[in-house]
Structure 1
Amino acid sequence: MGVVDGKPGLRERKKQRTRTAISEAAITLFLEHGFNQVSVAQVAEAAEVSKRTLFAYFPTKEDLVVHRLADHETEIARVVRARPPRTAPLAAVREHFLKGLRERDPITGLNDHPQVRRVHQMILDAPSLVARMDRFKTGAEQALTQALQETADIPELTARLAAVQIVAVQWALAQDNAERLAYGEPAGERYAGAVKDAEHAFSLLENGLRQLTPRG
């Protein structure tokens, strides 16, 4: 049985423990030896499962890393769908990102926990993981496009162009934060600058890039 009285059943709990054990074994090995240097067979051995079992939980090697970010792929879309009445989609996304900065959410790039920084660097060092993150970004754009169409009642092209811009801006802000932290700037010291950059970025989006108009 799956859920009993709102709680996962025994089978589901066992599956979750297996999934967690595989994931933790993978990340430990990848951080110690490098993503490209560790085989799926080595991960399975460390997690004490068969390769077949591993692939049942994680279809590809890249999934062993990217699954930790899976919930974030549709996060912006969920924020848009759950926004309070009469709140503009962009205002809801902006507040959510600023909240993420305050809480040091790793997805904002403003988290200097050693393991978070090492995982970020590991992704950048593995071309297959970089490519997978591009697919992640595309998925976020598609989910946000649909959410904007359904909740803001705007044409598909308008929704798609808005989604591309919003996702790209958050992506760029997070990358800037992560890069600064990678060079040793503490998250606490970066926070004010991260907020300022985010406010500027969302202001550009809100004003339709009017501030790029040449003077004179």
Structure 2
Amino acid sequence: MESLRERKKAITRRAIRDAAERLFAERGYDEVTVAEIADAANVSVKTLFVYFRSKEDLVFADTELLDRLVAALAARPDGVSHAQVVADVLAEAAGESGGGGLESYHRAYGESPALRSGLLRMWAEFEDRVVDQLAAEAGGPATPAMRLRAIQLVGIVRTTTSPELRDNPGGLADWLRQAPGLVEG
């Protein structure tokens, strides 16, 4: 069981993240200052930086979806493709948020130049994790073919937040039905 101190730290960290997410959704990442986030979370700027190294870290600290994707790939049933597993997890995640999660993402972060490098690092880390999973599944070392496969699977995830999909009248559900066939074909 966690100590009281650890529970309080977790509560403070969550309050900071919640305040940041709310403010980013209301006004956009580039329009919100660290001081405003700290104020909304009822902490000092100094305390905020104890929990997060930068404003960018507030965006990339939550890896829950990526963790779920890797876990689902590890638990993939026989006969179900990697691409289908990724599409299914994304559809489930979109359903949990009523589909508003991606719309909210675009409103909050949009095409912020400040976040571009962080997104690229996140996608690269996810790609590495997928390669590791594919190698574990094969029972051997990673190969160039596994890297290419990982890039394709990460591409499905990346596309869900692309401007092209946002502007697509078919929407997310249609895309997630099509994507596995495009990657596997």
User: Structure 2 length normalisation: TM-score?
Assistant: 0.79
Query: Cα distance, 1:174 vs. partner?
Result: 4.8
Q: Equivalent residue of 1:83, what SS? A: coil
Larger radius of gyration: 1
The answer for the alignment partner of 2:32 in structure 1 is 38
Query: Cα distance, 1:178 vs. partner?
Result: 5.2
Which 5+ residue runs of structure 1 have no aligned equivalent? 208-216
- Separation (CA, whole Å) in 2 of partners of 1:205 and 1:19: 38
Residue identity over aligned pairs, in percent, reads 29
The answer for the alignment partner of 2:159 in structure 1 is 172
- Separation (CA, whole Å) in 2 of partners of 1:73 and 1:38: 26
Query: Cα distance, 1:93 vs. partner?
Result: 4.4
* Residue 126 (1) aligns with residue 119 (2): no
Q: Equivalent residue of 1:148, what SS? A: helix
The answer for the alignment partner of 1:104 in structure 2 is 94
Q: Which amino acid aligns with 2:105?
A: V
User: Structure 1 length normalisation: TM-score?
Assistant: 0.69
Change (3 A) 1:173 1:18: closer
Query: Cα distance, 1:120 vs. partner?
Result: 2.0
Structure with the larger RCO, 1 or 2 (CA within 8 Å, 6+ apart): 2
* Residue 137 (1) aligns with residue 137 (2): no
- Separation (CA, whole Å) in 1 of partners of 2:157 and 2:149: 12
- Separation (CA, whole Å) in 1 of partners of 2:95 and 2:116: 20
Q: Is the contact between residue 156 and residue 179 of structure 2 (CA under 8 Å) also seen in structure 1?
A: yes
Q: How many residues are aligned here?
A: 184
Which 5+ residue runs of structure 2 have no aligned equivalent? none
- Separation (CA, whole Å) in 1 of partners of 2:103 and 2:131: 30
Query: Cα distance, 1:144 vs. partner?
Result: 0.3
* Residue 75 (1) aligns with residue 62 (2): no
* Residue 65 (1) aligns with residue 43 (2): no
Change (3 A) 1:168 1:96: closer
* Residue 28 (1) aligns with residue 6 (2): no
Across the aligned residues of Structure 1 and Structure 2, the Cα RMSD in angstroms comes to 3.0
The answer for the alignment partner of 1:212 in structure 2 is none
Change (3 A) 1:137 1:126: same
- Separation (CA, whole Å) in 1 of partners of 2:127 and 2:181: 20
* Residue 117 (1) aligns with residue 103 (2): yes
- Separation (CA, whole Å) in 1 of partners of 2:177 and 2:23: 39
Change (3 A) 1:134 1:118: same
